[in-house]
Amino acid sequence: MTSSDFSKHLLEWYDKFGRHSLPWQLEQSPYHVWISETMLQQTQVSTVTPYFKRFIHRFPSVCALAQADEDELMRYWSGLGYYRRAMYLHQSAKIIQDKHNGLVPDTYDNLIQLPGIGRSTAGAILSLGYNKAFPILDGNVKRVLCRYYGIKGWPDATKNLKQLWSLAETLLPQNRSRDYGQASMDLGALVCHKKKPKCTQCPLQAQCQTFRYQEFDTIPGKKPKTKIKKKTFYALLQQNSEHQWLLTKQPKEGLWPNLWTFPLIETKPESSSYVLQPFKHQLTHYQLTIIPILAFERAIEIPHEHFSLQAMKQLGLNRPSQKIAETLMLQPAQIPLMIS
């Protein structure tokens, strides 16, 4: 199959079976593509959809995002994880507002200089947003290409990645760039599943090397294992005489950049008692155990502020603190008043 046959078969399939009404396809603006592609990194379409709708409703343009209050922005992102993505969006929106008149750049060179925009996101903005011929290489596209060409090993290994970019560029059609970009992602998402690909429905089956040799279990290869570390945090619960709870803002470099949390410490304070059930929280490289604990000490040395449970709804809280706040809402009577 030549590269033009590849795109022809893929586009014919897309016209009949592709996704045409995702929320970010309704108005295919480069801004919507940028936001959705950033949200979709490491996150499923079904999870992203409600976040995207809320986000665009509140921040309908680059300028609205550039002028956003950071806490409010984090609140709209809270629960999606990988919080640095939200910080990069904010930083990039400010740059676009100042340097590009509020218009998402339409050249690769300008896009790639923005914080948080890598080669694939730039390609998605240019192809889906501007209908220009640039390759996208997200997880779905990588899987399809690895299988179609029988590329063994982990797709993100340097050698494989280089080959995949080169193939993705070679396969680009001369026209219908927007549809081709969407089609290449859709085939991976809808047909060439990680487990049990639906090869009988695939427009590329005739030339697919993985189908030919039935190597679905080994192609694409798995990511080399990174060790998941275990950590325990004590979440300090301390309220003032107005029944407001003490929260701290996490540093930019930590696990939850710029999010508010109940103070999290790794050593149990001497003067404290257990009040709520400990719970587990999974991050990419950490399995956390969070132990909410009533803290009796007056002095908290890190910068902090007090908030009512109601006011916390307006903050960007990390997920464990949201969970604690929700529990406190439900069982306030069990928590004695603390003086801080």
Residues that bind ligand SF4 (CB under 6 A): 144, 147-148, 191-192, 197, 199, 202, 204-205, 208, 210-211
Q: Which two tokens stand for residue 171?
A: 């396969």
- The nearest distance, CB 10 to ligand SF4, in angstroms, is 10
- The nearest distance, CB 207 to ligand SF4, in angstroms, is 9
The answer to whether 263 touches 319, Cβ cutoff 8 Å, is no
Of 19 and 306, CB closest to ligand SF4: 19
Of 6 and 83, CB closest to ligand SF4: 6
Q: Characterize the bridge pairing of strands 260-261 and 245-249.
A: antiparallel
Can you tell me whether residue 281 is helix, strand or coil? Answer: strand
Beta carbons within 10 angstroms of residue 289's beta carbon: 13
- The nearest distance, CB 208 to ligand SF4, in angstroms, is 3
Can you tell me whether residue 115 is helix, strand or coil? Answer: coil
| Ranges assigned E (strand) in 223-308 | 229-237, 245-249, 260-261, 264-265, 272-274, 279-282, 286-295, 304-307
Of 206 and 302, CB closest to ligand SF4: 206
- The nearest distance, CB 37 to ligand SF4, in angstroms, is 22
Full DSSP string of 89-112: HHHHHHHHHHHSTTPPP-SHHHHT
| Ranges assigned E (strand) in 22-181 | none
Of 96 and 146, CB closest to ligand SF4: 146
- Which one from 12, 37, 253, 305 is the annotated catalytic residue? 37
Catalytic site includes residue 169 = no
Of 179 and 186, CB closest to ligand SF4: 186
Q: Which two tokens stand for residue 280?
A: 């587990």
- The nearest distance, CB 192 to ligand SF4, in angstroms, is 3
HEC states along 49-69?
HHHHHHHHHHCCCHHHHHCCC
The answer to whether 106 touches 95, Cβ cutoff 8 Å, is no
- Residue positions annotated with a catalytic role: 37
